């Protein structure tokens, strides 16, 4: 994943810069636990792969928690620059949301930068709608 994610363009809307290989190892070590330290959130992370050869093209993730007695999943994802515009984000996000709903999620949330046209297009296709809520400069989308 390090070579795929080592791309400053992937941070154009989110800020920051690519993680080093060691930083990715540390992140994945924490994520593999599947839960936050206090147990209040469940973490689900998937690698998105090309169907014809299994090569990694990106990731999707969901953070699942309880909000006012409702199971809420906050979703996000990234597709490597060289693999964008091939439908991977849409297909992976649709599959993830279907799985989350099958597992009992009451609400799906995404936070998207207001100029990130590709992410907004994926959100619309998978049934999310923009709200009037903005968090850290990103618009909250919900299903």
Distance between CA atoms of residues 85 and 77, nearest Å? 14
Q: Mean pLDDT of all residues in the chain? A: 95
Domains belonging to the chain, first-starting first, are: 2-142 (3.40.630.30)
70-79 β-sheet, strand order: 41-49, 56-67, 70-79, 107-112, 138-142, 129-135
Q: What is the pTM of this model?
A: 0.92
pLDDT value at residue 77: 96
Average pLDDT rounded to a whole number, residues 119-140 = 97
Checking if the pLDDT of 2 tops 90, the result is: no
Checking if the pLDDT of 99 tops 90, the result is: yes
pLDDT digits (tens, 9 = 90+) for 101-110: 999 999 999 9
Residue 70 CB contacts under 8 Å (≥ 6 apart), including other chains:
106, 107
**pLDDT band, very low/low/confident/very high, at 129 (cuts 50, 70, 90):** very high
pLDDT value at residue 16: 86
Average pLDDT rounded to a whole number, residues 44-59 = 96
């Amino acid at each position: 994943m390090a070579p795929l994610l080592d791309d400053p363009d992937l941070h154009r809307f989110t800020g920051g810069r690519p993680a080093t290989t060691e930083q990715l190892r540390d992140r994945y070590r924490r994520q593999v636990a599947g839960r936050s330290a206090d147990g209040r959130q469940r973490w689900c992370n998937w690698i998105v792969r090309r169907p014809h050869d299994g090569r990694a093209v990106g990731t999707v993730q969901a953070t699942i928690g309880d909000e006012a007695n409702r199971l809420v999943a906050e979703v996000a994802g990234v597709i490597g620059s060289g693999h964008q515009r091939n439908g991977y984000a849409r297909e992976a996000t649709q599959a993830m949301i279907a799985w989350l709903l099958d597992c009992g999620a009451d609400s799906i949330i995404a936070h998207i930068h207001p100029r990130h046209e590709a992410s907004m297009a994926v959100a619309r296709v998978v049934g999310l709608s923009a709200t009037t809520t903005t968090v850290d400069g990103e618009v909250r989308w919900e299903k």
